[in-house]
Chains A and B, each alone.
Chain A
Amino acid sequence: MLLDIKNLSVSVEDKTILKDFSLSVDEGEIHAIMGPNGSGKSTLANVLAGNETYEIENGNIIFNQKNFLELNIEERSQEGLFLAFQYPIEIPGVSITPFLRSAINSKLKYKKEKEFDSLEFAKLIRSKAKELNIPNEMLSRSLNSGFSGGEKKRYEILQMSILKPKLAILDETDSGLDIDALKIVTDSVNRLKKEISSFIIITHYERLLDLITPDKVHIMKNGKIVESGTKSLARKIEESGYQSFE
C-alpha cells in the first residue's frame, strides 16, 4: 500500500470539510476523484501536501510506510508526493530553472543521492520541456508569472516529470486546457505512469478519463467518498449528475 488515509477529519476556521474520509491507493494505481463544487476535493489535495491552513481533527495518513502527519510540507515532497495545483501560484522574479534545480537537489540530498550540477540539470529540463512542447526560452521565465491558464498547467506537469514523485495528485489539471493542450498533458501523464507509481486525479470531466484510464473512480460529496467504482461510474455522472449519489 502506497497511501492509506483512515478516518480523516479536517477543518478550516472551525468548519469541518473532510469528514471521516478514508482512501487507499496501491502502487501503480490511478484513482480519479469526482464530485460537485465544495465537496472537499481540493482540501484533500492540500491536506496531503501538508498545507498548514487546515486543522487535522482526527484520523491518520500513512504514505510509503511513514506517518505523513508527522512530516512537514517539504519532507512530504521529498518522500515522493507531488501536488499539481488547481491554481498554480505566480512567483514573479523566481525563475523556473534555478528553482526546479533546487527542488530536485533538495530531494536528492534527502535521499543521500548525487545532486545535479547546473549543466546536467539544463540538459534534463530541456529534454522534459521538449516532451511538453515548452520552448526553451520559456525556461528562463519567472514561475507562473504572466502565464496563461494552460501554460501554468503545463509547467506543473513539467515540474512533476522532473521530480518524479511516487504519487502525483492532479487537482483539476484538465480545467482551462484546450483539447490540444489536454492531449499533451495526458500523453505526459501516460508516459510518466511507467516511471511514477500512482496518481490521484481530481476532475470534473469525463473527457480526461478517456485519455487516462483510471483503475478506480470515487465520487466525493460533503467531505467523504459516497461511492467507488470503475470508469463506468464517471460516465454515469456525465449523464445524470451528482444528485443521485448520497
Chain B
Amino acid sequence: MENFQDIYLKNKSNLLGYKYSNIDLFKQKLLNKIKIDSKYFNKDESIKHLDKGFLNNFIFKFDKLKNNIIHAENNNIENSILNISDTTLYELTNFKKNKIIFNTLYDNLDLIDKLILKDKKAISSDFILNLNTIFLNSGFEIIIQNNDSQLLTINHEYSDKAIFAKNYFRIGKNVSITIIENINSKNKSYNNLLNFFDLDEGSNVNHYVLHNSNEDSLSKVTSFINCSEKTSFNQCVFNISSSNTRNHHYGNLNGQNSEINLRGIFFGAREQIIDNKTEINHFFPNCSSNQTYKGILGENAKASYLSKTYVKDIAQKTQGYQLSKGIILSDKASFYSKPELKIYADDVKCSHGSTISSFDKNQIFYLRSRGLSKKLSKSFLIKSFYNDIIDSLDNKNYVNDVRVNADNWIKKNLN
C-alpha cells in the first residue's frame, strides 16, 4: 500500500490549511506518529475494534477545493436544511430567515486553526481523528444564537468521495434546537466526520443521527460535546449502515445542573464490523448522564461498545448510568462490551449494565402460542428491545424514518 505520508504529499495542495506552514508542520508531526503495524493497533483502543482493512485500500478521492455556498429561502417550511453533496457544495435553505450563521473552513485560517487545536489532547490520541486532521478537506461552522429555528436537518449525501470534515456547532444561550443528521454514503465513499458541539448556558440540543452507509462505503462519525451550565444534550445515533462503521461520541459536563444522554441503536449482518464508543466526563456537581447502546447482530457481524463515565472529585450529586445490550441472531455474530466507571467523588449514583443474549425462548413460545409466526414473534421482540430509546425521542419524522429503516432491516435479515 501507499503510505499516508505519500498520499499526503501528493494531495497536500487539495487539503485545507496547506498554505499555512504552521498547520502543515503540525500535520507532518501527526504523520510521523502514525504507525501501521498490528502490534500498535491491538493496543490502541481508538482503532482496536475497528476494521483495519480500509488502511490497505485507502484511496483518497475528492474534488479540487473550492467554496460553493448556495442560499435558498423556502416559505413553505419553517425549518432550516443543509444539503452537503461533496467536499465543496453546501445548499442552505432558510438559514438567513432563521438567523443561522454558516461559515465554511475554506480559506478561513482562524477557524481551521481553532478546530485543529480544539480538544487537541483527546483528538491526537485517536488514530482516526489524526487522519481527520491530516486529510482535512471540508467542514463548517454553524452558529445558532436565537430560537427562531427549532429544527435543522443536515443531509450528507456522499458518493465516490473521501471526506474528512470538522463541523462546529455553536449553540447560544437558552437556544433549544433539534439537529437531525442523515448520513448517506454510497459508491465507495470514505467519510470521517468530526462534530464539535459547544452549548452555551441554558441551551438544549437534540442531536439525532441516521447513519446509513451502503455496503461498499466506510463511515466514521465522532462527536465532542461541551456542555456549560443548565444545558441538556440528547443524542441518538441510529446506525442502519450496511458497511463497517465507527461511532465515537464524547461529552464533557463543564457546568452545574446539566445533562448529556448518548444513545444508540445499531444493526449488523454479513461480515460487518461496528465500532461504538461513548464517554462522559462529569467535571461539575449536580449533573446527570446516560449512555445506552443497543445492537442487533446477525450472520458474522462483529460489534463493540466501550462506554465510560468519569466523575471528578468535586462532581458530587452526579448521576451517571450506562447500559449496553445486544441481541445475537446467529452463532457466529459477536458483541464485545466494556463498561467503565472512574469515580473520584463520594456522593454519586452511578451504574453500568451489560447483557448479550439471543432471544428468550419463553417469550418466543408465548408469542407463537397466540398465533404469531416465529419470524413475526422475533420481529416484535427486536422492536421491543429498542423501543425505550425511540420513545425518548421527540421528532416524529426522525422516529418514523428510524422505524421504517428498522422494519426493512428486520424483514431482510430475520428468518
Smallest CB separation, B226 vs chain A (Å): 33
Per CB-CB distance, the 4 closest pairs between chain A and chain B, nearest first, are A93-B384, A77-B371, A73-B368, A103-B370
Q: How far, in whole Å, are A77 and B380 apart by their CA atoms in the complex?
A: 18
Q: How far, in whole Å, are A83 and B363 apart by their CA atoms in the complex?
A: 14
Instruction: Select which of B363, B365, B376, B388 is within 8 A of A102 by beta carbon.
Output: B376
Q: Is A106 engaged at the interface, CB distance under 8 Å to the other chain? A: yes
Q: Is B383 engaged at the interface, CB distance under 8 Å to the other chain? A: yes
Q: Is the CB of A163 within 8 A of B370?
A: yes
9-residue interface stretch from A84-92, A197-205, A211-219 = A84-92
Q: Is the CB of B367 within 8 A of A163?
A: no
Give the nearest-CB partner of A109 in chain B. Answer: B371
Instruction: Select which of A82, A89, A102 is within 8 A of B366 by beta carbon.
Output: A89
Q: Is B387 engaged at the interface, CB distance under 8 Å to the other chain? A: yes
Interface string of B354-379 (1 = CB under 8 A from A): 00000001110111111111101000
- Chain A contact residues, CB within 8 Å of chain B: 49-53, 72-74, 76-78, 82-83, 85, 88-89, 91-94, 99-100, 102-104, 106-107, 110, 142, 159, 163
| 20 residue pairs A–B, Cβ–Cβ below 8 Å | A49-B365, A51-B365, A73-B365, A74-B373, A74-B374, A77-B368, A77-B369, A77-B371, A91-B363, A91-B367, A91-B381, A93-B388, A94-B367, A99-B380, A100-B370, A103-B370, A103-B372, A106-B372, A107-B371, A163-B371
Q: Which of A51, A52, A102, A104 has the most CB of B within 10 A?
A: A102
Give the nearest-CB partner of A145 in chain B. Answer: B384
Q: Is B385 engaged at the interface, CB distance under 8 Å to the other chain? A: yes
Q: How far, in whole Å, are A51 and B366 apart by their CA atoms in the complex?
A: 9
Interface string of B329-370 (1 = CB under 8 A from A): 000000000000000000000000000000001110111111
Q: Is the CB of A94 within 8 A of B371?
A: no
Q: How far, in whole Å, are A124 and B10 apart by their CA atoms in the complex?
A: 70
Q: Is the CB of A93 within 8 A of B383?
A: yes
Q: How far, in whole Å, are A132 and B169 apart by their CA atoms in the complex?
A: 54
Known A73-B365, A88-B366, A89-B362; judge A103-B387 contact (CB<8 A): no
Query: Which residues from chain A contact B380 at a C-beta distance below 8 Å?
Result: 91, 94, 99, 102
Q: Is the CB of A74 within 8 A of B366?
A: no
Query: Which residues from chain A contact B372 at a C-beta distance below 8 Å?
Result: 74, 99, 102-103, 106
Instruction: Select which of B366, B371, B381 is within 8 A of A106 by beta carbon.
Output: B371
Q: How far, in whole Å, are A107 and B376 apart by their CA atoms in the complex?
A: 13
Q: How far, in whole Å, are A205 and B388 apart by their CA atoms in the complex?
A: 40
Smallest CB separation, B294 vs chain A (Å): 11
Q: How far, in whole Å, are A85 and B365 apart by their CA atoms in the complex?
A: 11
Q: Which of B362, B371, B372, B387 has the most CB of A within 10 A?
A: B371
Known A102-B372, A103-B372, A110-B371; judge A91-B366 contact (CB<8 A): yes
Q: How far, in whole Å, are A104 and B383 apart by their CA atoms in the complex?
A: 19
Query: Which residues from chain B contact A74 at a C-beta distance below 8 Å?
Result: 368-369, 371-374
Q: Is the CB of A89 within 8 A of B363?
A: yes
Give the nearest-CB partner of B382 in chain A. Answer: A93
Q: How far, in whole Å, are A103 and B367 apart by their CA atoms in the complex?
A: 8
Q: How far, in whole Å, are A47 and B201 apart by their CA atoms in the complex?
A: 62
Smallest CB separation, B390 vs chain A (Å): 10
Query: Which residues from chain B contact A93 at a C-beta distance below 8 Å?
Result: 383-385, 387-388
Query: Which residues from chain A contact B370 at a C-beta distance below 8 Å?
Result: 77, 99-100, 103, 159, 163
Query: Which residues from chain A contact B388 at a C-beta distance below 8 Å?
Result: 93
Give the nearest-CB partner of A85 in chain B. Answer: B366
Query: Which residues from chain A contact B368 at a C-beta distance below 8 Å?
Result: 50, 72-74, 77
Q: How far, in whole Å, are A88 and B362 apart by their CA atoms in the complex?
A: 10
Give the nearest-CB partner of A51 in chain B. Answer: B365
Query: Which residues from chain B contact A50 at a C-beta distance below 8 Å?
Result: 368-369
Query: Which residues from chain B contact A78 at a C-beta distance below 8 Å?
Result: 371
Query: Which residues from chain B contact A51 at a C-beta distance below 8 Å?
Result: 365
Q: Is the CB of B369 within 8 A of A94?
A: no
Query: Which residues from chain A contact B376 at a C-beta distance below 8 Å?
Result: 102, 106
Q: How far, in whole Å, are A94 and B378 apart by their CA atoms in the complex?
A: 11
Smallest CB separation, A218 vs chain B (Å): 23
Q: Which of B368, B376, B380, B387 has the most CB of A within 10 A?
A: B368
Q: How far, in whole Å, are A166 and B24 apart by their CA atoms in the complex?
A: 79
Q: How far, in whole Å, are A92 and B388 apart by their CA atoms in the complex?
A: 9
Q: Is the CB of B365 within 8 A of A94?
A: no
Smallest CB separation, B34 vs chain A (Å): 44
Q: How far, in whole Å, are A85 and B362 apart by their CA atoms in the complex?
A: 11
Smallest CB separation, A89 vs chain B (Å): 4
Q: How far, in whole Å, are A90 and B366 apart by their CA atoms in the complex?
A: 9
Q: Is the CB of A73 within 8 A of B369?
A: yes
Q: Is the CB of A142 within 8 A of B369?
A: no
Knowing that A73-B368, A74-B374 are A-B contacts, what are 19 other residue pairs whose CB atoms are under 8 Å apart, sorted by A's residue number? A49-B365, A49-B369, A73-B369, A74-B372, A74-B373, A76-B369, A77-B370, A77-B371, A82-B369, A91-B363, A91-B366, A91-B381, A91-B384, A94-B380, A99-B370, A99-B372, A104-B371, A106-B373, A110-B371
Q: How far, in whole Å, are A104 and B370 apart by their CA atoms in the complex?
A: 8
Query: Which residues from chain B contact A110 at a C-beta distance below 8 Å?
Result: 371
Smallest CB separation, A103 vs chain B (Å): 4
Q: Is the CB of B373 within 8 A of A92?
A: no
Smallest CB separation, B230 vs chain A (Å): 32
Query: Which residues from chain B contact A104 at a C-beta distance below 8 Å?
Result: 371
Query: Which residues from chain B contact A53 at a C-beta distance below 8 Å?
Result: 361
Q: How far, in whole Å, are A199 and B372 apart by their CA atoms in the complex?
A: 22
Smallest CB separation, B359 vs chain A (Å): 11
Query: Which residues from chain A contact B385 at a C-beta distance below 8 Å?
Result: 93
Q: How far, in whole Å, are A73 and B372 apart by their CA atoms in the complex?
A: 9
Give the nearest-CB partner of A89 in chain B. Answer: B366
Q: How far, in whole Å, are A70 and B127 apart by their CA atoms in the complex?
A: 58
Query: Which residues from chain A contact B383 at a C-beta distance below 8 Å?
Result: 93-94
Q: Which of A52, A89, A100, A110 has the most CB of B within 10 A?
A: A89
